[in-house]
Amino acid sequence: MRRRFSTLRAKTALILVVFLLSACGSKAETPPPSNTEAPTTNTPAATESAPLTGESDGAILSIQENGYAHLFVVNPRLMQKTRITSGAWNDISPALNADGTRLAFASDRNGFWDLYVLDLQTGALRQITNSPQYDSAPSWSPDGQWLAFETFPEGNLDVAIVNVETGETVALTQHPAADYSPAWAPDGRHIAFVSTRGGDSDVWLANLDLVGDERYVNLSESPFAAESAPQWTKDGAKLLWTSSSSQPVAFSGIYVWSADDPERAAYWLGDGELGAWNESADEILAAVNSPNETYLALYDLSGNLLQTSAPLSGRARGMVWGAAQLPAPLPEAFRQAAAETPAALWSPVLAPAGDVPNQRFALAPLGDVQAPFPQLNDLVDESFNALRQRAAQEAGWDVLASLENAFIPLTTRLEPGMSEDWLYTGRAFAVNSLMANAGWMAVLREDIGSQTYWRVYVRCAAQDGSLGEPIHNATWNLSARYDLDPDAYEQGGGYAPAPGGYWIDLTDLAQAYGWKRQPSLPNWRAYYKGARFTAFVNDGGLTWLQAMRQLYPEEALVTPTRVLLPSLTPTPTPTNTPTPRPTRTPRPTFTPRATFTPSATFTPSPTPPATSTPLTVIPED
């Protein structure tokens, strides 16, 4: 089954989304701060309140906040949101039951990932599963008695169903491939889910009335894309899912498939990483990712963009949109969560102003960090240290103790194309890429617009389910370009199956502490270091030049820097060695009882030992 696209409509909507996101995310150039200015921190913006009484046509989202995912009720019209859970844990993958009175979700609040059901009338919470293995992505059966969910027994994702009242669990899939993200159809006899059993991540449909291979049908059938997050309309007439493609022949974003015309391929609706239907199934709320921020967008079924929101506090980890039943007044647990103000994760401690000339900032050393120059700008070193401590806590080992780079002096010449790299500013660092070779780091390719970004995962020390989560999507193997495969060489690598085990998303965690990922250079497919998948930047809203002025005087930036580069291989320096000339030999004389002794010849001095080539002075480009 091949996809059919409405090219004109798709491109028009995509351009409009990119334009709006660029407008929302653009930053005005600001003058460089001085030592006397009040330092900024990463305190999250105050959460806007939305009326949450009576029957609400609000969406419920899981949104990252300070490195944890919490549940929010969002008004899609006003784009207001109110937190209903909080704590030093994660609540993800919300799912409403048919009458909107109960909310199922996954949480690691008790140390392991299990399923919970929240009563929206009373705020009462009940744990449904209780096992060390990862359980997530619940989906209600139409009668509200069962939950389909993804689970991770023996290191492989499978789909199972659990009885909400008794806890009885039944395995739905037991395939060697990964099966996850189930969506129970309103007819009760079909479950859509994502599976890699066809070679890559496609949306499959399971008919519960059949057995064997006849039970399963591939709905998306897209060899160059990875699908995720299927969701049905309330009447079961349509199914949406999201797709991430690395090929120009297919758009990434939200696709809609019609159950009334199953032979017709799904059509592209608009950009988005997650999508959710409204109650009447005539609009779709989507979480749209820019490189380092997430927005909410509202579409109609023709793909027209109705509105967008300001950026969320972090990445969306699930969403559902329906008629949730919320009482008046709200339960006490909801009111407490809504009133909570998240604390700042870090705050800068600056060197005394008298120690730094002309209101510039000092470089602060990074204690016990291995790097060529373990230093960062004094404004961001506390942010790095806080991130390092949090990453060690989440992964179970000190992820950032060894860096490929931190601060790079201006007199150090970097690779071509990196003359204005953020490493010069002291506001960037690069994690150790050797972790990827050792199997402790994995990267996912994400093409946003015309640029390529990377999502970095780090393997957890404990693999018992107490730390991290499984990786769902196929990772990208940058080293595949060296496998003598022409296609992999031209593409700069290739997709690889998702690695087993439990991992933390370092990209999401770094973003919570103000560190952004960087786009790859245009030549990254042919130039390994151009991928820049290890680089993170805390720009503080500054341009590169403004950040450089925080460390260097203006004259150092406008005058070409003379860089001293030693010769890579010392070579002997030739020395003028005098060649002995033949001496004149006098003729013998007939002096009685004596002969003429020839004069001593000139012996050359010993040749001095080879010396290294003198340092070469090369002006900066």
**CA-CA-CA-CA dihedral for 288, 337, 92, 451, to nearest 10:** 30
What percentage of the chain reaches a pLDDT higher than 70? Answer: 80
Instruction: Provide the pLDDT for residue 359.
Output: 76
pLDDT value at 56 more than 80: no
pLDDT bucket at 619, cuts 50 / 70 / 90: very low
Q: What is the mean pLDDT of residues 335-364?
A: 86
- Contact present, 209 and 189 (Cβ < 8 Å): yes
539 and 496 in a common domain: yes
Q: Is 223 helix (H, G, I), strand (E, B) or coil?
A: coil
d(CA 434, CA 479): 12
Work out the mean pLDDT of the chain and round it to a whole number: 84
DSSP tag of 559: S
Instruction: Provide the pLDDT for residue 229.
Output: 96
pLDDT, tens digit (0-9, with 9 covering 90-100), for 232-269: 999 999 999 999 887 765 789 999 999 999 999 999 99
Instruction: Provide the pLDDT for residue 351.
Output: 78
Instruction: Provide the pLDDT for residue 151.
Output: 98
199 and 127 in a common domain: yes
Instruction: Provide the pLDDT for residue 604.
Output: 41
d(CA 134, CA 154): 10
Distances (CA, A) of 168 to 104, 141, 145, 193, 328: 16, 14, 11, 21, 34
Instruction: Provide the pLDDT for residue 585.
Output: 47
Query: End-to-end distance of the chain based on CA atoms, in angstroms?
Result: 53
Q: Is 215 within a domain? A: yes
Peptide bond into 497 cis (omega under 30): no
**Domain total in the chain:** 2
pLDDT bucket at 355, cuts 50 / 70 / 90: low
376 and 254 in a common domain: no
Extended strands (E) in 301-382: 305-308, 316-321, 324-326, 363-365, 375-377
Proportion of the chain in helix, strand, coil states, percent, rounded to 5: 15, 30, 55
Q: Is 407 within a domain? A: yes
Q: Which residues contact 485 (CB under 8 A, 6 or more apart)?
A: 494
Q: Is 423 within a domain? A: yes
371 and 333 in a common domain: no
What percentage of the chain reaches a pLDDT higher than 90? Answer: 66
Q: Considering 312, 339, 366, which residue would you say is the last residue of a domain?
A: 339
307 and 456 in a common domain: no
How many CA atoms are closer than 13 Å to the CA of 334, on its beta-carbon side?
A: 22
Which structure tokens are listed for 371? 């790097």
pLDDT value at 349 more than 50: yes
pLDDT, tens digit (0-9, with 9 covering 90-100), for 69-109: 999 999 988 888 999 999 999 999 999 999 999 999 999 99
With residue 428 as reference, give the H or E element that holds it. Answer: strand 428-431
- Contact present, 315 and 328 (Cβ < 8 Å): no
pLDDT value at 128 more than 70: yes
pLDDT bucket at 327, cuts 50 / 70 / 90: confident
Q: Considering 305, 339, 373, which residue would you say is the last residue of a domain?
A: 339
Number of H-type helices and E-type strands within the chain: 8, 39
391 and 293 in a common domain: no
282 and 400 in a common domain: no
Instruction: Provide the pLDDT for residue 199.
Output: 85
pLDDT bucket at 43, cuts 50 / 70 / 90: very low
pLDDT value at 54 more than 90: no
Q: Is 618 within a domain? A: no
pLDDT value at 49 more than 70: no
Q: Is 347 within a domain? A: no
Q: Considering 549, 565, 581, which residue would you say is the last residue of a domain?
A: 565
197 and 121 in a common domain: yes
pLDDT bucket at 330, cuts 50 / 70 / 90: confident
389 and 290 in a common domain: no
Q: What is the mean pLDDT of residues 576-580?
A: 52
Q: Is 307 within a domain? A: yes
Instruction: Provide the pLDDT for residue 266.
Output: 94
- Contact present, 365 and 376 (Cβ < 8 Å): no
The residue length of the chain stands at 621
Q: Which amino acid is at 592?
A: P
Q: Which domain holds residue 535?
A: 354-565
Q: Is 344 within a domain? A: no
Number of C-beta neighbours around residue 579 at 10 A: 7
Strand pairing category for 135-140 and 68-75: unpaired
pLDDT, tens digit (0-9, with 9 covering 90-100), for 513-545: 999 999 999 999 999 999 999 999 999 999 999
- Hunting for tokens 């990786």 — which residue is that? 471
- Contact present, 5 and 249 (Cβ < 8 Å): no
416 and 489 in a common domain: yes
388 and 483 in a common domain: yes
Q: Is 521 within a domain? A: yes
225 and 145 in a common domain: yes
